[in-house]
C-alpha cells in the first residue's frame, strides 16, 4: 500500500492510495492528473473520497466516476453534483483492506468531513481536506470559529504518528504566520528549515506528522500561553475565552501578508 500526492491546479494535492493494482483518490478537483497516473501505472480506479463541496476538490469526480465506475463517498450534509454515498461521523468506508473512519469537522464548509485510517503495520493516515493544513487551518467560510476549534480538537486526539494528508501545499506561507505568532518556538524554527529545504527541491512538505503539528501549528496550539499572549497583543480587546482567542487568531491570519 502506497500513499502518493498528485499535484493539481497550482497548489492542490489529490491523494492517491495504490493497492494491488487498484487505486483510491481523495478530492480529485481535476480528473487529468489521476487519469494520467492510472495509465502510467496501469491501475484501476475504484474508490473516490470527497471531503467537502468546493470545486477544487470535486471538479474531476463526475468524469472519473463515469470513466471507471468508481464508488464515490462524500459528506452527508452537503450536496454534491454527482451520485455518492453520504457519510457522517462514525460511518466507515472499507477499501483494499483499509477501514476509513468518518469524522465531522465543519468550519471551512458546513458539512466538511475527514477520513482516518489505521493500516496494519503502517502509520495511520488522515485525509483532512481544507480543515487542517501543515502550520495552519482552512478559512472559515460557512461554519463558525467554535466549530473550527472543535474540529482542531477532534483531529488533535488522533494518534501522534498520524500522517496528515492536507489538500493544499500552503505550508511555507502558513509557517510565516506561525513564526509571527510564536517566534521563539524552537520546534517551529526547525520545521521551517526542514520545509524550506523540501520546497527548494520541489518536494511536497506533506504528509505532515500530527505530533509535529501539535508542536508548531498555532491553530492546534490556541490554548498555549504563548499563542494567547500573541493574539492579545494583536487584538487587545480579546476576551480570555477559547473560542474568541481562536477566532481572533484566524482573523489575524486572514489579513496576514
Ligand atoms: Zn475548500
Ligand atoms: Fe481547497
Question: 37-96 pLDDT, tens per residue?
Answer: 999 999 999 999 999 999 999 999 999 999 999 999 999 999 999 999 999 999 999 999
Rounded CA gap, 119 and 100, in Å? 9
Give the 3-state secondary structure of residue 82. coil
pLDDT of residue 177: 98
Task: Please give the residue range of the domain that contains residue 248.
Answer: 2-254
- What are the phi and psi torsion angles at 20 (to 5°)? 50, 50
Selected catalytic residue, list 27, 53, 56, 112: 56
State the cell numbers at 61.
469526480
Selected catalytic residue, list 53, 104, 112, 130: 130
What confidence tens digit (pLDDT) does each residue in 86-104 have? 999 999 999 999 999 999 9
Cβ proximity of 48 and 65 under 8 Å: yes
**What average pLDDT does the segment 240-244 reach?**
96
- For this structure, is 240 an active site residue? no
Rounded CA gap, 237 and 46, in Å? 52
Exposure of 13 by Cβ count < 10 A (0-12 exposed, 13-18 middle, 19+ buried)? buried
pLDDT of residue 52: 98
Q: Read off the pTM.
A: 0.98
- For this structure, is 168 an active site residue? yes
For 20: left if phi > 0, alpha if psi spans -120 to 50, otherwise beta; the answer is left
- Residue 199: partners with Cβ closer than 8 Å, 6 or more residues away: 171, 172, 205
Q: Domain with 31 in it: what CATH number?
A: 3.60.15.10
- For this structure, is 54 an active site residue? yes
Number of domains in the chain: 1
pLDDT of residue 128: 99
pLDDT of residue 159: 98
Amino acid at each position: 500500500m502506497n500513499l502518493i500526492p498528485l499535484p493539481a491546479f497550482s497548489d492542490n494535492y489529490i491523494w492517491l492510495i495504490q493497492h494491488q493494482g487498484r487505486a483510491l483518490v481523495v478530492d480529485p478537483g481535476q480528473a487529468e492528473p489521476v487519469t494520467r497516473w492510472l495509465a502510467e501505472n496501469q491501475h484501476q480506479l475504484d474508490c473516490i473520497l470527497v471531503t467537502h463541496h468546493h470545486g477544487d476538490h470535486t471538479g474531476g469526480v463526475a468524469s472519473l466516476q463515469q470513466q471507471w465506475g468508481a464508488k464515490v463517498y462524500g459528506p452527508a450534509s452537503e450536496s454534491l453534483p454527482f451520485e455518492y454515498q453520504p457519510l457522517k461521523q462514525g460511518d466507515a468506508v472499507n477499501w483494499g483492506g483499509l477501514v476509513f473512519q468518518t469524522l465531522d469537522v465543519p468550519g471551512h464548509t458546513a458539512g466538511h468531513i475527514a477520513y482516518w485510517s489505521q493500516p496494519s503495520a503502517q502509520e495511520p493516515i488522515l485525509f483532512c481536506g481544507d480543515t487542517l493544513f501543515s502550520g495552519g487551518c482552512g478559512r472559515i467560510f460557512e461554519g463558525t470559529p467554535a466549530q473550527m476549534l472543535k474540529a482542531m480538537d477532534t483531529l488533535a486526539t488522533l494518534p501522534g504518528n498520524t500522517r496528515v494528508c492536507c489538500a493544499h501545499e500552503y505550508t511555507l506561507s502558513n509557517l510565516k504566520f506561525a513564526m509571527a505568532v510564536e517566534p521563539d518556538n524552537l520546534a517551529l524554527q526547525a520545521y521551517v528549515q526542514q520545509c524550506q529545504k523540501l520546497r527548494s527541491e520541489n518536494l511536497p512538505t506533506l504528509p505532515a506528522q500530527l505530533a509535529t503539528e501539535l508542536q508548531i501549528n498555532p491553530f492546534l496550539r490556541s490554548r498555549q500561553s504563548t499563542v494567547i499572549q500573541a493574539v492579545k497583543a494583536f487584538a487587545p480587546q480579546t476576551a480570555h475565552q477559547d473560542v474568541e482567542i481562536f477566532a481572533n487568531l484566524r482573523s489575524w491570519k486572514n489579513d496576514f501578508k
